[in-house]
Structure 1
């Protein structure tokens, strides 16, 4: 049973018209056009600098932030790939989550502000993310490396892990996927029913955002939709999803396919909760974040 606060938030999301952003292909194209005219900032909030050392470098055209605990050595490494439907930048809830990973898990968190669609497409974005992951794993130091992604960023993270395994067989210590978007075709037969109760997302806009991200690739190409890729040899997975998320079908399919490939999966499906709930100020979100912190700490002790 979802908490009273989570039920109230779902009502508030519906009332705010949040879902209209993905209600149609035209709505998504309007967002993209507005972002082209006035690009959003991906800069971290100033308050993060009080608890973390922050530096920024460029990997190709990508700004990449390196956020480490202030005054102490990191105990583990995290590559965090943000969500936003491939068309939206890092926002405050992402940075709040990063802050918690730095302060509570004592993690060094590497955060790419990857190029958004339609300029950034899967054929270039996935190999670049795989390069970042490979470099972080190879950098050594204390603890292991945890790959974390939310929503579209979870799809990119999983595609990068698949690509890295194909190249070298290397993997992070663990992969954490938060409300993952893994199949941009939006073709699962259960999605129509779930969509009716989703307070945030709708299939028409998601299909268009996926089309922009796919570029010249087919929507079911594993670089675009890693649900169609190979799961053999992947690192242990932790997955968080809610039943009021039209994308929860991706998580369920992931569970089936990953287990069939022999991958260890820790699966959390919360009844009545919306897309991205682990990043929200909810009791269930707090519990999910605390679980992620514990997973990183456990990696640090390996």
Structure 2
């Protein structure tokens, strides 16, 4: 399929912002990348719909609720290479979700590396889910996460299965990072095409987050864990994204376990393309996400 004019505008903006350069540094300059973080969201919509902000362990939760609340909850675990976020595109996505689904959304601003390691971050995600279960039934909860947000959701589900706990109704993974080692040889072929990420910087961020330098720990690399008994899983994979080769391996594992899985592949799309502004392909992908949340 031919890419839209807005696709090329988006690639130009990504290049102009120097994201590829930032993610080609070792060590990665996490303080510079954090300058794009947006923690206090503004605007009329959020003033009207932001019902409360509260803390679970070290995680700040911003709850956004529609005036016509559906009774369902979306746990939104944002990406940012474990070192940053949330960013403006995350809040824009949440605004669209609340408007078009009437679901309540919890934006989960969890602790970041290098100040915190994956074990503490995972403990926070587990507790967020546990607290959610005190208000919502598991079948009323969906989880959505981009990049390492997808990592954290996948690893959360693996732990829930191990503990024989109730699972969310569905999980939506947008360009999830499934293997922190980035050792898949196919990554080297995609790296020159990826307009946003580079192996060197992403690997540096993972090393900052890893517990005892163990990049194969399933908390940070869920590809090495089990995919048995997963809930309905929807995975968005972009072919011009260095995380794509490990997503393909994940899909193979999900299919082998007979998981109800839907794969949406973005031909020539960059990392987390459904959440990017301007691009027509992003708007179509986000509409698909909305439709799946409304099912």
Q: TM-score range by the shorter chain?
A: over 0.9
- For residue 257 of structure 1, the aligned residue among 249, 253, 259 is 253
1:142-291 alignment runs, 5 A limit: 144-216=140-212, 218-281=214-277, 282-291=279-288
Q: Is the 8 A contact 1:191 1:247 kept in 2?
A: yes
Give, in whole Å, the separation in 2 of the partners of 1:73 and 1:242: 32
In the other structure, the counterpart of 1:67 is 64
Give, in whole Å, the separation in 2 of the partners of 1:173 and 1:190: 33
Q: CA deviation at 1:255?
A: 0.5
Please identify runs of 4+ aligned residues in structure 1 that moved more than 3 A.
32-35, 38-41
Q: 1:96 to 1:14 in 2, by over 3 A?
A: same
In the other structure, the counterpart of 2:12 is 11
Give, in whole Å, the separation in 1 of the partners of 2:72 and 2:80: 26
Q: CA deviation at 1:34?
A: 8.0
Give, in whole Å, the separation in 2 of the partners of 1:53 and 1:111: 11
Give, in whole Å, the separation in 2 of the partners of 1:51 and 1:3: 34
SS at match of 2:268: strand
Q: Is the 8 A contact 2:239 2:270 kept in 1?
A: yes
1:24-173 alignment runs, 5 A limit: 24-26=25-27, 28=28, 30-32=29-31, 40-69=37-66, 71-140=67-136, 144-173=140-169
1:22 aligns with 2:18: no
**Total equivalences in the alignment:** 293
Q: CA deviation at 1:62?
A: 1.6
Q: Is the 8 A contact 2:175 2:271 kept in 1?
A: yes
Alpha-carbon deviations, 1:137-178, whole Å to 9, x = none?
442369721110001111011111111221233210000000
Q: 1:66 to 1:80 in 2, by over 3 A?
A: same
Q: 1:105 to 1:34 in 2, by over 3 A?
A: closer
Q: 1:47 to 1:215 in 2, by over 3 A?
A: farther
Q: Is the 8 A contact 1:130 1:161 kept in 2?
A: no
Q: CA RMSD in A?
A: 2.0
Give, in whole Å, the separation in 1 of the partners of 2:18 and 2:51: 35
SS at match of 2:216: coil
Alignment gaps of 5+ in structure 2: none
- For residue 291 of structure 2, the aligned residue among 286, 289, 294 is 294
Q: Is the 8 A contact 2:37 2:85 kept in 1?
A: yes
Give, in whole Å, the separation in 2 of the partners of 1:105 and 1:184: 33
SS at match of 2:239: strand
Alignment gaps of 5+ in structure 1: none
Q: CA deviation at 1:53?
A: 3.1
Q: CA deviation at 1:15?
A: 4.0
Q: 1:253 to 1:138 in 2, by over 3 A?
A: farther
SS at match of 2:144: strand
